Copies of this chain bind each other. A is one copy, B any other.
Amino acid sequence: MSVSGRGASPRKRAPAKKATGANAARGGVPAQERELRAQGKKTMRKLLDAAMVVFDKRGFHAARVDDIVKVAKTSHGTFYLYFANKEDLFRALVADVAEEMTSLANALGDVGPDEAGFLELRAWLGRFCDLYDHYGPVIRAWAEADVDDSDWGRMGTETTRAFTGGLARRIAAANKGVDAEIAAVAFVAMIERFNYYNVSRGLRYDRDAMLETLTTIVHTGLFGGARPGKDARR
């Protein structure tokens, strides 16, 4: 879940544009496979982290490579030693997030209508919030980058599908009354966007209150949980 947990995915290279004739044969200059040593890895990390900070503050489009470099305390040239461009770097971050998300989706256990189900759901939602706390900048920027017919769309679609797929199965198991697939999307929509509002706007609800409410809504609305107040669960 931590950024440092990127693991072994050393930039698979974005298709370098502008083949000035010169680099046409170079096969794409920047980071690519290049086995990185300790120092190189450290620098790459600095850049990725810095990018998160900048994306958070400005969003994807408004982020300037210059800003990232400044935050990372490196030079412009160094940036292009590791990434072909802003998009390339972003892709790296997105890959991380997608991975984390997919693994999180599969971490949701059975959610029954009873208290155990409630707690399972709440714990899981807690993890989602943690993830959003950490990767929020990337997730928010993702939506921004994903306009036009780039491949962000595809990545987003795939990730969303993977994420909702895991949840849909749990929902289907617990609730025959709704279209599990649509419900899963609604579920994800709600928690993602709620976190967005929470972080990006002045809302900043107390974590517990927020978790409690979200869990209740989802448990009741999707997993057949007892209606609070009326059924008095606790």
Q: Which residues of A are interface residues toward B (Cβ below 8 A)? A: 3-6, 8, 10-11, 17-26, 29, 57-59, 61-62, 64, 66-67, 70, 140, 143-144, 146-150, 153, 156-157, 160, 175-179, 182-183, 185-186, 188-194, 196-203, 205, 209-210, 212-214, 216-218, 220-222, 224, 227-230
Known: A4-B201, A177-B227. A59 touches B144 (CB 8 A): yes
Instruction: Give A179 to B176 CA distance when docked, in angstroms.
Output: 27
Instruction: Give A138 to B230 CA distance when docked, in angstroms.
Output: 40
For A19, A197, A221, the residue with the greatest tally of chain B CB atoms inside 10 Å of its CB is: A197
Check if A178 sits within 8 Å of B4, measured CB to CB. Answer: no
Using CB atoms, name the residue of chain B closest to A229.
Answer: B177
Task: Tell me, rounded to whole Å, the shortest Cβ–Cβ distance linking A109 to chain B.
Answer: 20
Contact of A203 among B62, B148, B185 (CB under 8 A): B185
Check if A66 sits within 8 Å of B213, measured CB to CB. Answer: no
Task: Tell me, rounded to whole Å, the shortest Cβ–Cβ distance linking A12 to chain B.
Answer: 11
Contact of A201 among B67, B70, B157, B229 (CB under 8 A): B157
16 example contacts (A-B, Cβ-Cβ < 8 A) are as follows: A4-B200, A18-B18, A22-B62, A26-B70, A59-B61, A61-B62, A144-B147, A160-B201, A175-B229, A178-B217, A182-B209, A182-B213, A186-B190, A188-B197, A190-B194, A217-B221
